[in-house]
Amino acid sequence: MAVSTPEIPRAQDEQTTRHPGLTAQLSLRLGAIFAVLASILFASAGTFRYWQASLCLLVLTASGAAVSFVTLVRNPEVIARRLRTAQRSRSQQALVRAFRPLFFCLLFLPGLDHRLRLTTTITGPVPPALSIAADIVLLAAVIFCGWVFEVNHFADRCLGKQEKQQVIDSGPYGLVRHPLNAASLLGWLVAPLALGSWIALPLFALVIPFYVLRIINEELQLTRELKGYAAYCKRTPFRLIPFVW
């Protein structure tokens, strides 16, 4: 979501910027995400001898924690907003509910492939160098998200106009209108390679319609509610992928 041409003043809300439990909340959230991902990957694989999953989890956990805690120090209001889980838009709620089963199924596929050795049998294994390259792309995507959080203090997982929100067209928002979605989608598309699965790769492409529908819905609301957003769309024509869409 795009949000400021001039510098945006940091929020002064004490409950947002100086919440005493914000660090604990963030730590718990990161720990829960790691636990869920590790449980799904290794349970579906039926073994802990799955180096691709171990390396992928290490990259995501280390980089995600680093970006999150740096953002917490520099822009705590961003973390406070990101920790909110309640989606305000009913249409966005419906999209998330509709696609949630797909995302959970996709998390199981690479591990199941590893257990059944489908990729090895049918296509030949994913080269280790390619899995490592995919992990590097995942690392770059997480760092890119950190850049977005640095530029956009209004970055929020919940769609809805916020007080003092302005249109941001600098930094990553000068490249595409939805840089967080672009980084997230890229992560999903390279994840099967990082996890050593050719078989899962085409199925992961099914997440693309989710992002397309989510962005179209979000832009309709932002155009109605956020002053200057329509003009920003004309200045930055690409939503998700430069020179493509």
By C-alpha distance, which of 16, 33, 39, 32 is closest to 163?
16
pLDDT of residue 3 exceeding 70: no
By C-alpha distance, which of 245, 229, 218 is closest to 4?
229
Q: Provide mean pLDDT across the span 185-192.
A: 94
Task: State the pTM of this model.
Answer: 0.84
User: What was the pLDDT predicted at 77?
Assistant: 84
Is the residue at 119 inside a domain? yes
**Residues 144-157: pLDDT tens digits?**
999 999 888 776 65
Q: Determine the Cα–Cα distance for residues 208 and 160; give it in Å rounded to an integer.
A: 23
Is the residue at 245 inside a domain? no
Number of domains, the chain:
1
Is the residue at 196 inside a domain? yes
**Residues 98-112: pLDDT tens digits?**
888 888 889 999 999
User: What was the pLDDT predicted at 129?
Assistant: 98
User: What was the pLDDT predicted at 12?
Assistant: 40
User: What was the pLDDT predicted at 119?
Assistant: 94
pLDDT of residue 191 exceeding 70: yes
Is the residue at 2 inside a domain? no
Q: Long-range contacts made by residues 14-19, C-beta under 8 angstroms, separation at least 24?
A: 16/76, 16/77, 16/80, 16/81, 17/76, 17/77, 17/80, 18/76, 19/76, 19/80
* pLDDT grade for 4, boundaries at 50, 70 and 90: very low
Is the residue at 153 inside a domain? yes
pLDDT of residue 164 exceeding 60: no
Distances (CA, A) of 37 to 27, 34, 40, 61, 66: 15, 5, 5, 10, 18
Range of the domain at 126: 14-235
Q: Provide mean pLDDT across the span 193-198.
A: 96
Is the residue at 94 inside a domain? yes
Provide the mean pLDDT of the chain.
Answer: 85
CATH of residue 192: 1.20.120.1630
Give SS3 for 178. Answer: coil
Higher pLDDT, 189 or 169: 189
User: What was the pLDDT predicted at 18?
Assistant: 52
Q: Provide mean pLDDT across the span 34-53.
A: 96
Count the Cβ atoms, other than its own, within 10 Å of residue 226.
20
Is the residue at 244 inside a domain? no
User: What was the pLDDT predicted at 97?
Assistant: 85
